[in-house]
Amino acid sequence: MADPRIIDITLDERTILWRNADVEQERRIAIFDLLEDNHFQPQRHHEDGYDGPYRVHLRVEEGRLVIEIRRENGDPLEAIILGLGRFRRPIRDYFAICDSYYQAISNASPQQIETVDMARRGIHNAAAETLIERLEGKIKVDFDTARRLFTLICVLHIKG
């Protein structure tokens, strides 16, 4: 029976050089929300018909995102490799707007915070759409899953 979802997700901790409390909170929320509700369906057919659930490990290697996909029991299935060129600007923009958001929380009016948050969501949504496009033919994901994966991709790019 098909169960196209992620049941465990890990990040390559060697890739992450530094993260502050705000980033750590974003990472925890993204993982929690992702595991609570996601649609993740690799498109490669496996001889035994395996169709989930999946354990996923994300890492960045030589400027590429590597998505390692494993069976529920941990046996490897495949690795999807995506060039990150189309994500460089959205990642940079997302970091910049998040910095503005965290600064606004501490000293801006509610209206200013809402404005910055709307901009942050807009960048995040556009990046999620790009991720869905880049995964086409490789992995089917829904919009919310793509948003949460983009958050985790950003965490992998923090250099301090």
Range of the domain at 70: 6-155
Share of the chain above pLDDT 70, in %: 92
| 105 compared with 134, residue with greater pLDDT | 134
Residue 160 in this model has a pLDDT that exceeds 60: no
| 72 compared with 52, residue with greater pLDDT | 72
Residue 34 in this model has a pLDDT that exceeds 80: yes
In a domain, 137, yes or no: yes
CA–CA distance, 56 with 102 (Å, rounded to integer): 29
Select, from the ranges 1-5, 87-91, 135-139, the one with the highest average predicted confidence (pLDDT): 135-139
Per-residue pLDDT, 150: 93
Residue 91 in this model has a pLDDT that exceeds 50: yes
Per-residue pLDDT, 97: 81
CA–CA distance, 68 with 31 (Å, rounded to integer): 16
Per-residue pLDDT, 19: 58
In a domain, 84, yes or no: yes
Give backbone dihedrals phi and psi of 73, rounded to 5 degrees, phi first. Answer: -85, 0
In a domain, 126, yes or no: yes
| Domain count of the fold of the chain | 1
In a domain, 1, yes or no: no
In a domain, 151, yes or no: yes
- Mean pLDDT over 106-115 rounds to 83
Per-residue pLDDT, 47: 87
- Mean pLDDT over 121-144 rounds to 95
In a domain, 12, yes or no: yes
CA–CA distance, 146 with 6 (Å, rounded to integer): 12
Residue 18 in this model has a pLDDT that exceeds 60: no
In a domain, 117, yes or no: yes
In a domain, 160, yes or no: no
Per-residue pLDDT, 140: 97
- Mean pLDDT over 64-80 rounds to 95
